[in-house]
């Protein structure tokens, strides 16, 4: 007897039919754009990192950087941040926005994960409209570009 027909019989008898739902997608997975730089820039969506500000940020870093964004489907082809750090030998990760940071790290934001120093700042949307937040970002980029990569492992 087919599953559909079996459910129809049960419903006709007044028996509630429960169907299991697929698991919710993992919200902490990333889709990583092209490139192989040592700096990973994480934002909410691919649209967020396609603007002029995103290009300015990469130029200000002075090194090759790779953009990544949250995978809304949590697919098996997407990576967790710690996997990306290990596979790509990343030395710095900058997460733009509190929403992506909370999804990736939860409430405990580390300063170092694997071989990468972790930093969070305002979202790209906030940076686009706030001069003071943009100045804070430029100061952060200037200060981190002068530091050697971290050696601590977590």
Cα 46 to chain centroid distance, Å, stands at 11
Residue 153 pLDDT greater than 70, yes or no: no
- 118 closest CA partner among 80, 81, 76, 71: 81
Residue 152 pLDDT greater than 70, yes or no: no
- CB 39 within 8 Å of CB 92: yes
Strands (E), 2-152: 29-32, 39-43, 65-70, 79-80, 92-96, 112-113, 116-121
**Global confidence as pTM:** 0.76
pLDDT, position 145: 61
pLDDT, position 144: 67
Phi, psi dihedrals of residue 111, rounded to the nearest 5°: -90, -20
Alpha-carbon span 82 to 5, nearest angstrom: 46
């Amino acid at each position: 007897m087919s599953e559909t027909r079996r459910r129809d019989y049960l419903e006709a008898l007044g028996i509630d039919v429960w169907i299991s739902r697929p698991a919710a997608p993992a919200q902490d997975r990333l889709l990583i754009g092209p490139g192989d730089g040592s700096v990973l820039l994480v934002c909410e969506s691919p649209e967020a990192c396609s603007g002029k500000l995103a290009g300015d940020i990469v130029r200000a870093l002075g090194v090759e950087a790779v953009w990544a964004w949250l995978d809304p489907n949590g697919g098996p082809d997407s990576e967790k941040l710690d996997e990306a750090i290990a596979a790509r030998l990343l030395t710095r990760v900058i997460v733009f926005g509190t929403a992506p940071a909370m999804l990736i790290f939860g409430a405990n934001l580390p300063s170092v994960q694997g071989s990468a120093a972790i930093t969070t700042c305002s979202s790209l949307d906030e940076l686009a409209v706030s001069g003071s937040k943009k100045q804070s970002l430029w100061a952060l980029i200037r200060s981190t570009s002068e530091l050697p990569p971290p050696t601590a492992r977590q």
